[in-house]
A and B are shown apart, each in its own frame.
Chain A
Amino acid sequence: MTTNLIEVKNLVKSFKDGNKETHVLKNIDFIAREGEWISIMGRSGAGKSTLMYQMSLLDDATSGEIFLFGRDTHNMTADEKTKLRLNELGYVFQDYALLPDLTALENVAVPLMMQGKYKKEAYAEAKLSLERVGLGHRISGLPSQLSGGEQQRTSIARALAHKPKVLFADEPTANLDNESSRTIMQLFKEVHEQGQTIIMVTHEEMYSRLAERIIQLDDGKIISDEKIKRVK
């Protein structure tokens, strides 16, 4: 029996602009189970990224409940959420979100150091993670010296280095050329095959179908939740 890693109940997210209130997410109910690869799709403004931000605790919901690994996140302090992100979640940003002052190795090592590992140990693990994404030869490059694909692979290495329970990826191929995109998706496939739970926002049909479950959002609501059947 698979465990529920994420449970979203009646989730609402609204933004206020003066007197005008925009409801971006409207009463979303959603469950992500261990080992799943879920693609969240929808047109621009449908609320895909917003849903991901709430689930990954980068943002606070207006109302509703989010349970991560059975824990209610509603009353968690900012520090508790940060700690949860550090230890249990991995995040791949659309624009890579690497720290420009740090080399690829340091970017990957920083969260490991925050976990309490000493520099030497963190560097060794970060190097392994970079080798896993095929960047073993670029560890001392600064982000500005890496190509877009290399930066995104560094971002994936950082997200995976601490072995998160869930890997969130927000449009991971949006800024990449076709070849780099294929490489990234191949990486996702490999880590998923090793048991990694992935929740990925994408607007690219081709890549969304690599997942085993596709959730369609429109106007802040889930309009479909489809399981992909594969012939083995």
Chain B
Amino acid sequence: MPQFIRLGFFLALRQVRRASPWTTSLIIFVMTLTFLNLVVVSGILVGLIEGAVEANKEFYTSDIIISTLEKKNYIEQSPSILNIIRSMPEVAAVSARYLGSGQIEASYKTAAKEEDIDSAGASLVGIDPIAEDNLTGVSRFVIDGEYLSPNDYDQILIGAYLLTEYFPVESASFPTLDNVSVGEKVRITIGDVKREMTVKGIVKSKVDEISYRIYFVDSQFRDLIGRNDYNVGEISIRLKNGANPNIIKEALLRAGVGEHARVQTFEDAQPKFLQDIKDTFALLGNMISSIGLVVASITIFIVIFINAITRRKFIGILKGVGISGRTIEVSYVFQSFFYALSGSSIGLLILYGFLEPFISAHPINFPFSDGILVAPVSGTVIKILILIFTTVIAGYIPARMIVRKNTLDSILGRN
């Protein structure tokens, strides 16, 4: 190892070891904050969308979603497809949903005229309550009343976004029902069929598909829509841990499922705009982090500059006794490296030891998603390298400025 690096390291080590613990702690604290700013800001911004994506996957699409082909109202050969799915060892849970659309009406008993009836269009879904709950845990989103039981008849779960009480937005595009609560009677119209039903529960989730739907028990829903062939509109599949959705998708396609339905992994089903937003937020996060990086660089520059200025006499002495300028510069580079590495290490501990698991367990409650912290190790390592590089440069420049000054002027403190 070159002599100037060995001695530079030696001098840096001694200087750091015998520096004021308060000063050292303060610099490391600044570096830790910078690291967290660099990783957490962009991580939260990406996590805000990632949270929505994850929720969509967990509570709606699951790992694989099978839906109708274009211009079809249902998935043909659904029972056979379900048999294929259930025979696959990688499959952990399946839920088949009957889909339809219709009208929900309230106050139809008290309204004087037909046009005074409070009504809204809705997506109607027939589910096996146990299978659906097993797959998506939808029962946890029941905010009032109770979840459906397999034997419930003429009872529905209604999405909160269909009710003014929970979604007080006046919009012609999204009409909502007033004064509908648990136990109230509502009237459902599907095609020519009208049926009075009781609201058993209200569901609300940040996944819109859940909050805009009305859930029925599948056996009754089949009757309502007149479907006796058991062909469903949607099948969600959750895989066992470690199973690759792409491989299962390929297996399903090879089994001929693709002839009757569209097979998508959760990533395929993810709307493109979500990925675009994610990329935009990542860019935004990086921009904000870059400002943090510049601030940190300036901080380190100032710290090293003040350190070098106050130690100018000693830098002069070092040069006076024959220590090369390069060695002295290297000693300051090592000090900067030490500060950046220490700050990053503490930041890493905070990030992966506390922040990430904590936010994962207690997601940030954003209006449209439960925000998580997205901090992949590869990205974090790159950010650490950026931080260290920037800090080392910020430490090197002031050291070089002071080292270049006349030796005697430095020793005597002359300008």
Which secondary structure characterizes the binding site on chain B? helix
User: By the criterion CB–CB under 8 Å, are B323 and A97 in contact?
Assistant: no
When A99-B317, A102-B14, A158-B321 are in contact, do A114 and B408 touch as well, CB less than 8 Å?
no
User: By the criterion CB–CB under 8 Å, are A83 and B322 in contact?
Assistant: yes
One digit per residue, 1 when the CB lies within 8 angstroms of any chain A CB and 0 when it does not, for chain B 170-207 equals 00000000000000000000000000000000000000
Bound CA–CA A53/B322 (angstroms): 14
User: By the criterion CB–CB under 8 Å, are B314 and A111 in contact?
Assistant: no
One digit per residue, 1 when the CB lies within 8 angstroms of any chain B CB and 0 when it does not, for chain A 65-88 equals 000000000000011001101110
User: By the criterion CB–CB under 8 Å, are B320 and A114 in contact?
Assistant: no
Give the residue of B17, B314, B322 whose beta carbon is less than 8 angstroms from that of A82: B322
Cβ contacts under 8 Å, A85 to chain B: 320-322
Bound CA–CA A82/B408 (angstroms): 12
Cβ contacts under 8 Å, A106 to chain B: 14
CB distance from A75 to the nearest CB of B (A): 17
**Interface size class, chain A:** 20 to 34
Chain A: CB-nearest residue to B326: A79
B303-336 with Cβ < 8 A to chain A: 314, 317-325, 327
Does B6 touch A at the CB level, under 8 Å?
yes
User: By the criterion CB–CB under 8 Å, are A78 and B325 in contact?
Assistant: yes
Chain A: CB-nearest residue to B407: A58
Number of A-B contacts (CB under 8 A): 76
When A59-B407, A113-B3, A113-B6 are in contact, do A82 and B325 touch as well, CB less than 8 Å?
yes
Does B411 touch A at the CB level, under 8 Å?
yes
Cβ contacts under 8 Å, A53 to chain B: 408
When A58-B407, A116-B3 are in contact, do A91 and B14 touch as well, CB less than 8 Å?
no
User: By the criterion CB–CB under 8 Å, are A100 and B320 in contact?
Assistant: no
Cβ contacts under 8 Å, B15 to chain A: 101
Give the residue of B3, B6, B14, B411 whose beta carbon is less than 8 angstroms from that of A101: B14
Does B280 touch A at the CB level, under 8 Å?
no
CB distance from B312 to the nearest CB of A (A): 13
Bound CA–CA A119/B6 (angstroms): 9
Does B7 touch A at the CB level, under 8 Å?
yes
Does B18 touch A at the CB level, under 8 Å?
yes
Does B298 touch A at the CB level, under 8 Å?
no
Chain A: CB-nearest residue to B6: A113
User: By the criterion CB–CB under 8 Å, are B320 and A58 in contact?
Assistant: yes
Does B24 touch A at the CB level, under 8 Å?
no
Taking A87-B322, A101-B14 as given, write out 7 further A-B residue pairs in contact, using a Cβ cutoff of 8 Å, ordered by the A residue number: A53-B408, A110-B7, A110-B321, A114-B323, A116-B3, A142-B18, A158-B321
Spell out A's residues near B (CB within 8 Å): 53, 58-60, 78-79, 82-83, 85-87, 89, 91, 93, 97-102, 106, 110-111, 113-116, 119, 142, 158-159
Question: Mind listing 5 A-B residue pairs with CB under 8 Å?
Answer: A79-B325, A93-B411, A110-B7, A113-B10, A158-B321
